[in-house]
């Protein structure tokens, strides 16, 4: 069994294309004595591996796309800008620079999976390198050291400066005791080297409009960057829309029920990769009105100073018409809806416009109904209104509409009793426009006049009349 395990281990370690076989082994982030632009990065692979489609990134400024194969045992040198950056022939030439303030270098395979990651830390303290002497950061069997440059070959092991590895660069309790020296230098003292985990490189960007309207659905989406495909596909997203409502997913829809300024926050999480980003959105009130044109068509007027998308709104007369997609009304402009889409006899019917939530956005009341619906509104008022409770939601279909008119008479829609023609027309118009149960009241002067009129009629019939004298023949 022991021999079998050794054989399987030996075979497995020789499989070409094993992702973890390649390592970042030397980083010349400081350039050379000839030029600060002579930067280079070294890769080493014990086996021949095709790295086409692979990449190296520092998470901000640098992305190197790899093409070709690294031979077994080869130390491949990637040089910046030209082949003059390091001695020998460059394995590849790239553009871009490594910042002296430190970065995290990540090697990704063609699927976006992380193959190797080197956390440089602040000013590259975690791996070393010297900007004054131009000594490079080199990987040895005992960790990273600062030594004379060795592009294209194994580290020399001649340490020039040992970085302070006691600095706690990550939140972990794991440590190991190793010799601080190498083949060319040894020491009996031991150091505690903290286990360095990858930094959070995840970045997020929200895609959403800066403004919207009440009850108008808005699509919010977030795009991740700075991580590989595997991590990006594993992220879990949680949204807070700033109005106590939340949602989950990379792309979500939300509608605000009140006007105001809101801060939208999304959080993405996968293991140690946690990031949040915010987006501010302004929710505007809907300022629309309806008007009946001379030809009987209906105009929807946008009275605000910003355009509004009314797609999905319902215009209700004797028929219901849904506004089609991508119907945008410009500021202080109007669109016209043909009357045949809404009403049969528009002069005798009310027309109402409802938003996505079923709330009334605008209403048109004919002139002959305006004084009855609201006596305080002038007959020639361009946009007469019907008062209703603020919390009530209007439905275009009411199973049992109930209306109370000035005489105090209650009319049930299911009753078969005769009613005045004007009352019937008003009731039908209110029902068609989708107005819920409403009370139509007259002012005190009208009530007083009606009372006096009824009293006068009763007086004529109830007050006794004097008897006439009867003649001698009677």
What pLDDT, on a 0 to 100 scale, did the predictor assign at position 272? 79
The backbone torsions φ and ψ at residue 429, rounded to the nearest 5 degrees and listed phi first, read -65, -40
Work out the widest C-alpha separation in the chain, in whole angstroms: 162
Q: Burial letters for 197-229: b for 16+ Cβ neighbours within 10 Å, e otherwise?
A: ebbebbebebebeeebbbbbebebebebebbbe
In the chain the domains, ranked by start, together with CATH numbers, are: 2-163 (2.60.40.1260), 203-284 (2.60.40.10), 288-387+395-439 (2.60.40)
The angle subtended at Cα 51 by Cα 69 and Cα 72, nearest 5°, is: 45
Tokens of 273: 């990769």
What pLDDT, on a 0 to 100 scale, did the predictor assign at position 404? 32
What pLDDT, on a 0 to 100 scale, did the predictor assign at position 365? 83
Report the candidate in 433, 434, 256 with the shortest Cα–Cα distance to residue 348.
Answer: 433
Q: Report how far residue 202's alpha carbon sits from residue 208's, in angstroms, rounded to the nearest whole number.
A: 20
Are 31 and 58 in contact, with CB atoms under 8 Å apart?
no
Q: Report how far residue 409's alpha carbon sits from residue 418's, in angstroms, rounded to the nearest whole number.
A: 12
Can you spell out the DSSP letters for 170-216? SS---EEEEES-BTTB--S-EEEEEPPPPP---EEEEE--SEEETT-
Residues with Cβ within 8 Å of residue 59, at least 6 apart in sequence: 103, 104, 106, 199, 201, 226
The backbone torsions φ and ψ at residue 218, rounded to the nearest 5 degrees and listed phi first, read -120, 135
Q: Report how far residue 217's alpha carbon sits from residue 82's, in angstroms, rounded to the nearest whole number.
A: 53
Residues with Cβ within 8 Å of residue 371, at least 6 apart in sequence: 377, 379
What pLDDT, on a 0 to 100 scale, did the predictor assign at position 236? 93
**Positions in the chain short of pLDDT 50:** 1-20, 161-197, 346, 377-442, 473-474
Q: Report how far residue 1's alpha carbon sits from residue 270's, in angstroms, rounded to the nearest whole number.
A: 39
Strands 438-439 and 402-404: what pairing? parallel
The backbone torsions φ and ψ at residue 11, rounded to the nearest 5 degrees and listed phi first, read -65, -45
């Amino acid at each position: 069994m022991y021999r079998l395990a050794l054989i399987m281990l030996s075979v497995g370690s020789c499989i070409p294309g094993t992702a973890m076989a390649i390592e970042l082994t030397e980083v010349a982030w400081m350039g050379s004595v000839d030029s600060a632009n002579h930067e280079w990065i070294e890769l080493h692979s014990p086996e021949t591996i095709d790295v086409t489609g692979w990449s190296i990134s520092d998470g901000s400024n640098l992305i190197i796309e790899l093409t070709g194969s690294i031979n077994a045992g080869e130390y491949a040198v990637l040089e910046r800008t030209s082949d003059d950056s390091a001695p020998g022939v460059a394995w590849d030439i790239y553009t871009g620079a490594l910042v002296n303030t430190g970065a995290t270098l990540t090697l990704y395979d063609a699927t976006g999976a992380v193959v190797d990651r080197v956390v440089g830390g602040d000013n590259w303290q975690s791996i070393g390198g010297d900007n004054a002497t131009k000594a490079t950061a080199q990987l040895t069997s005992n960790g990273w050291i600062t030594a004379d440059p060795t592009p294209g070959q194994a580290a020399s092991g001649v340490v020039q400066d040992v970085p302070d590895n006691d600095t706690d660069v990550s939140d972990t309790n794991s440590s190991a005791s190793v010799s601080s020296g190498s083949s060319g230098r040894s020491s009996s003292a031991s150091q505690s080297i903290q286990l360095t985990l990858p930094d959070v490189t995840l970045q997020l960007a929200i895609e959403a409009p800066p403004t919207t309207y009440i009850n108008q659905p808005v699509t919010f989406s977030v795009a991740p960057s700075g991580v590989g495909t595997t991590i990006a596909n594993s992220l879990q997203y949680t949204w807070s829309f700033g109005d106590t409502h939340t949602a989950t997913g990379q792309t979500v829809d939300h509608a605000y029920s009140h006007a105001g300024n809101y801060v939208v926050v999304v959080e993405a999480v996968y293991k140690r990769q946690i990031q949040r980003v915010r987006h501010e959105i302004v929710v505007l009130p809907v300022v629309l009105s309806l008007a009946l044109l001379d030809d009987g068509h209906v105009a929807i007027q946008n009275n605000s100073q910003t355009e509004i998308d009314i797609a999905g709104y319902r215009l209700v007369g004797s028929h219901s018409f849904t506004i089609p997609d991508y119907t945008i009304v410009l500021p202080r402009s109007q669109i016209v809806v043909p009357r045949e889409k809404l009403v049969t006899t528009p002069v005798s019917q009310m027309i109402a416009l409802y938003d996505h939530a079923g709330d009334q956005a605008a209403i048109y009341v004919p002139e002959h109904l305006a004084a009855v619906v609201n006596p305080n509104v002038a007959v020639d008022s361009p946009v007469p209104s019907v008062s209703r409770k603020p919390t009530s939601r209007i439905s275009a279909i009411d199973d049992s509409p109930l209306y109370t008119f000035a005489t105090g008479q209650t009319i049930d829609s299911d009753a078969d009793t005769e009613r005045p023609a004007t009352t019937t027309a008003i009731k039908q118009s209110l029902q068609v426009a989708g107005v819920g149960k409403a009370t139509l009241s007259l002012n005190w002067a009208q009530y007083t006049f009606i009372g006096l009129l009824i009293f006068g009629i009763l007086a004529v019939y109830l007050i006794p009349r004097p008897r006439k004298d009867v003649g001698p023949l009677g």
